[in-house]
Amino acid sequence: MIEETATILECEGEYAQIKTERSSACGSCSSRSACETASLKEEADQAPDVALLALNPINAQPGERVVIGFEEGALTKVSMAFYAVPLVSFILFALLGQWLFSSEGMAALGAVFGLAIGLLWLRYFSTKTSGDEHYQAVVLRRIDKAEAPECTIDTGILS
């Protein structure tokens, strides 16, 4: 399970809108001043935060810091779907257009058609998996508890 720290922004039924906290090893690196990656990271830190929905089985409330998790296998499948399928269909249809028509124009047209087919399949895959809990981020546990009133039980006995 891949875990990340996040803050609950708001609750929506069984889901919570969360904002993850960005982390990097750039702050402790001795080569930071000469590194292009560090400067790109600083620019990324200035970008607005992205919020996403996560399943909230522990009923965390807005303002709480939590740990969210993603299943590694699901993350790998989704990554492959988003990157490999459109690319592979692009290349295969380009090769098919070149092979069938022996023309660069048809190869380019086949590539565009293959990319469109790959993106349409990706839309189908995304719709199919959007309701699947296996592919959802899940709120696992609280990091620090919100200021909640303590429950007291009135037994009616005076002490």
Residue 49 corresponds to which amino acid? D
pLDDT tens digit sequence for 76-114: 888 889 999 999 999 999 999 999 999 999 999 999 999
Identity of the highest mean pLDDT range in 95-99, 134-138, 141-145: 95-99
Q: How far is CA 27 from CA 36, 42, 129, 136, in A?
A: 13, 10, 37, 30
Between CA 3 and CA 72 the distance in angstroms is 10
Q: What residue has token string 């609750």?
A: 11
Per-residue pLDDT for 70 more than 50?
yes
pTM of the model: 0.61
